[in-house]
Amino acid sequence: DTAVSQTPKYLVTQMGNDKSIKCEQNLGHDTMYWYKQDSKKFLKIMFSYNNKELIINETVPNRFSPKSPDKAHLNLHINSLELGDSAVYFCASSPYHGFNYGYTFGSGTRLTVV
């Protein structure tokens, strides 16, 4: 029973296309995140939602739009994909906003833009 699940696991698409990645957690956590891991393995936060409310929006191009229909789900939609968007995107969750607990990460979505 996967705690944080992401779909799809792999995504290969052409430049200019629009794609979505979905994330669901069954841990009852309040806070969910999107992180981007580039080719050098660097993990950088993109967005954070607490109980469906956007809390953190880093300097991410507005082609990236997150949506949280409820506190167990966080999706990421990307418009007009560019080569530089190729990376692994990780969803994560943590129990409470404002408290410090480790994240539980999803298995990642490897996005390749060709």
Report d(CA 3, CA 14) in Å as an integer: 31
Q: Does 45 interact with other proteins (rule: CB under 8 A)?
A: yes
Considering only the stretches 15-23, 67-75, 76-84, 96-104, report the one whose residues sit in contact with other proteins under the rule CB under 8 A.
Answer: 96-104
Residue number with CB closer to other proteins (39 or 62): 39
- Does residue 55 bind other proteins (CB under 8 A)? yes
Here the tokens at position 63 are: 């082609």
Give dist(CA 34, CA 108) in Å, integer.
10
Q: How many C-beta neighbours within 10 Å does residue 32 have?
A: 28
Residue of the chain from 25, 48, 68, 93 that contacts other proteins (CB under 8 A): 48
How would you classify residue 98: left for phi > 0, otherwise alpha for psi between -120 and 50, otherwise beta? left
* 98 touching other proteins, by CB under 8 A: yes
Q: Give the residue with the Cβ less far from other proteins, 52 or 105.
A: 105
Structure tokens given for 7: 């779909």
Minimum Å gap between C-beta 108 and other proteins is: 6
